[in-house]
Amino acid sequence: MHEHSTSSLTGLMLPLADRYLLLPNVAVAELIDYQRGEPASDAPPWYLRQVTWRNQQLPLISFEAACGCPLAVGDRARIVVLNALGGRPELKFIALVIQGIPRSYKLDSQLSFVDVPLCRLEKAAVQVGEWVAKVPDLLGLEQLVLESGLA
């Protein structure tokens, strides 16, 4: 790694009810409006229902609820469509409920990590400006969806 080639990538801060998630830009396929609908019955608490995106049915997930926190859908709820990274043909995208509009941040390679408690689907916490953001374990999230037979 040469000194003059400082790699910077663009990250997206996704506002949740009780935390921010930080994702690389490439993980996000699209931001769409929240689709109201009947919650799925007899499904895990983090799974809301299927939503339609580009003629596909995607599982809509609450990250907060997947971490064992209360499910939250506020007035400013949106859906962010994530590219599944696991390469499974049956799961190409996951829809995640967020609360508001994601903000784009330039991140340098020197992320400052913060020592705070993490839930099982969070890999790390980093300082972004004045906020602490959690880095989600996207493969873990995909695994959760696949294991629950919701893909």
Instruction: Give tens-digit pLDDT for 58-80.
Output: 999 999 999 999 888 889 999 99
Stated pTM of the model: 0.89
Closest to 61 in 3D by CA, of 76, 53, 69, 49: 49
Candidates 2.60.40.10, 3.20.20.30, 3.30.60.50, 2.40.50.180; CATH matching 8-147: 2.40.50.180
Q: What phi-psi label fits residue 3: left (phi over 0), alpha (psi between -120 and 50 degrees) or beta?
A: alpha
Instruction: Give tens-digit pLDDT for 1-54.
Output: 444 445 678 899 999 999 999 999 989 999 999 988 888 788 899 999 999 999
CA–CA distances in Å: residue 58 to residues 9, 85, 93: 27, 15, 7
